[in-house]
Chain A
Amino acid sequence: MENIKTANAANLEVFSEVLQDLAASDKDIIVVTSDSRGSGKLVPFGQKYPDQIVEVGIAEQNLVGVATGLASMGKKAFAVSPACFLTARALEQIKNDVAYSDNPVKLIGISAGVSYGALGTTHHSLHDYAVLRAINNISIVAPADNFETAQAIKEAAEMQSPVYIRFGKKAMPANLNSDATDFKIGKGRIIQEGNDLTFIATGEAVLPCTEAAKLLEKEHQISCKIISLHTIKPLDTELLLAAASNGKPVITVEEHSINGGLGEAVASLLFQNSFTNKFKIVGLPDDHTVSGSQIEIFNHYGISGEGLKNTVLNLLKL
């Protein structure tokens, strides 16, 4: 496990390396793909463990069904497919066969959010948190760095309940806070402390928060707390309520529709606990998504250091 590459690797590479490591001593690890072996960075896995990878072809419903069958027989089945197809095409299989029937399939949504850039809406997954949040008995995880990725995969391998893990495509930071060495699915991670406001973000949206925090500190002496809420369900209520208890503004940031995702989950929690902090949800608006690369789309909707800085200044009316 020492050799696992963590600096500036795409989280999928880390995912693939961790899986190879686990598979070396665990024949029950089975990866299921839907013509997604290359995009899932699983070619080396397949070469090393040809008996532990199953190809179903371009058939996502069958992918989840087959993974369910494997899991029902005690296999640690990782179903790997682009997040957009996995959580839309195979949603009924996820709802009925995985979650409702309680089969501990590990669903791995790759190239999630707007990672596919100019390939457009058919390839974006801006709905996955929302639809899966409404399904009982499934955890939803989106790692923000390679440390979280490696930890999430190791934990998922042993989980006895269904889990969905969402990965992007581009290189990720190795570790956004090397002091925060505790990782547990269901528990958020504090990336940095701060007094004036709290960013709560998930997945690839955490990094832009760290950039905004630097700008806000430098240009406006505003100190920001940042939480990587890598698990969107179950929600780490304790951490979130504690963070909001200072009464300072809360800004949620996600690579997802502003409808039904992380932001609304946090808002619901805070409002039901009578919090009245200033609150802003940053994500993709309920609109036709602009075309462009992931970074261009992020910039367009203010999921960037500069964009988030301006959102904060507006919220604080500075």
Chain B
Amino acid sequence: MQLEELKRKSIESRKKVIQYIYNAKAGHTGGSLSILDILNVLYNDVMNVSPENFDSNDRDRFIQSKGHSVEALYVVLADKGFFPEEDLLTMCQYNSPYIGHPTKSIPGIEQNTGGLGHGLPIAAGAALAAKKDNSAVKVFTVLGDGEMAEGSNWEAMMFAAHYQLDNLCAILDYNKLQITAPNADVMGLEPIDQKLESFGWAVKHVDGHNLEELSNTFNNLPIVAGKPSFIIAHTTKGKGISYMENVLKWHHGVPSKEQYDLAIEELDQQLQELETVLK
């Protein structure tokens, strides 16, 4: 997909994330905004997956390990045509399938997640299956930086390197914040690249909001043949809405009417700026 088109999608999707969270009066706002560009690039420029091939075993797989940021995934899947976007108006309401975490009852979603530290082991198992089938399927998963404290991730990392799963790509949404405080105060994970490398992974740092860099990276995997790839995507929690950026309370903060208007105004402005640059 054209870079300009991807850029437009990112801003429009941010607007939708805010709209549906505002409507539901619930959501994990900050983390949805920090993974949005990653999901946009994966679904619109990298992965071989669409409503048309979703029944085919040949589709690429995406497993969102940090399930709480489901709003970003919902918006990207709706835009891909997996379900009507209006469905999201029921998000988090009584009897709605669109709950606050990914579930397989929603078209396009591969696995039920929400408990942290589950995505990478599942993704590793799926990648192993693809290898056994000599299939070209690639498996992607996105993890939170706070989530990295779960031991299951490190068990899966040993496993993926041991089985040389170079069809597996884990993406760290490195927004540096979790619920209580910055990772550095809760449970430091640095030097994360050296840790991942020492576990046998090929590692690359990227700007998690630079669509071009994300696209180039994801379209040139594996980084090293025979090794699983870990992409450390440096991101901003609350990206795109200045008063939310890097502010702890927006982990699951819901905007008031005034804040909502302000957010939409800011995103509209970004859209306008994009149009001006394009002209």
Contact = CB atoms under 8 A, between A and B. Distances in A.
Interface of A: 33, 35-39, 55-59, 61-62, 84-85, 88-89, 117-123, 290-293, 296, 300
B149 A58 contact: yes
A115 to B, nearest CB: 13
20 contacts: A35-B180, A35-B186, A38-B180, A55-B180, A57-B149, A57-B186, A57-B187, A58-B116, A58-B146, A118-B100, A119-B100, A119-B101, A120-B114, A122-B112, A122-B115, A290-B94, A291-B92, A292-B93, A292-B95, A296-B94
Given A35-B180, A118-B26, 10 more contacts: A35-B146, A36-B179, A55-B180, A59-B151, A84-B115, A119-B68, A122-B114, A122-B115, A123-B114, A291-B96
Interface size class of B (residues with CB under 8 A): 20 to 34
B187 A59 contact: yes
B117 interface: yes
Can you list the 3 inter-chain pairs with the closest CB atoms, starting with the nearest? A57-B187, A122-B114, A57-B149
B93 A118 contact: yes
Contacts of B146: 35, 57-58
Contacts of A56: 149, 187
A120 B151 CA distance: 23
A58 B178 contact: yes
Q: Looking at A62, A120, A292, which has the most chain B CB atoms within 10 Å of its CB?
A: A120
A296 B99 CA distance: 14
A61 B99 contact: no
B208 interface: no
A37 B178 CA distance: 12
B188 to A, nearest CB: 9
B144 to A, nearest CB: 8
Interface in B12-33: 24, 26
A90 to B, nearest CB: 11
Contacts, number: 87
Interface of B: 24, 26, 67-68, 92-97, 99-101, 103, 112-117, 146-147, 149-151, 178-180, 186-187
B176 to A, nearest CB: 14
A177 B120 CA distance: 49
A55 B179 contact: no
B132 to A, nearest CB: 29
B178 A293 contact: no
A55 to B, nearest CB: 6
B101 to A, nearest CB: 5
Given A38-B179, A123-B114, A61 B151 contact: yes
Contacts of A62: 149, 151
Contacts of A293: 94
Contact of B147 (A58, A120, A290): A58
Given A58-B146, A58-B149, A291 B94 contact: yes
A122 B180 contact: no
A33 B178 CA distance: 14
A293 B179 CA distance: 22
Given A118-B26, A290-B95, A58 B117 contact: yes
A37 B185 CA distance: 13
A289 to B, nearest CB: 10
A294 to B, nearest CB: 11
Given A122-B114, A123-B114, A55 B101 contact: no
Nearest to B96: A291
Nearest to A57: B187
Contacts of B114: 119-123
A314 B117 CA distance: 45
A61 B68 CA distance: 20
Contacts of A300: 94
A118 B92 contact: yes
B98 to A, nearest CB: 8
Q: Looking at A33, A58, A123, which has the most chain B CB atoms within 10 Å of its CB?
A: A58
Nearest to A119: B100
A300 B117 CA distance: 31
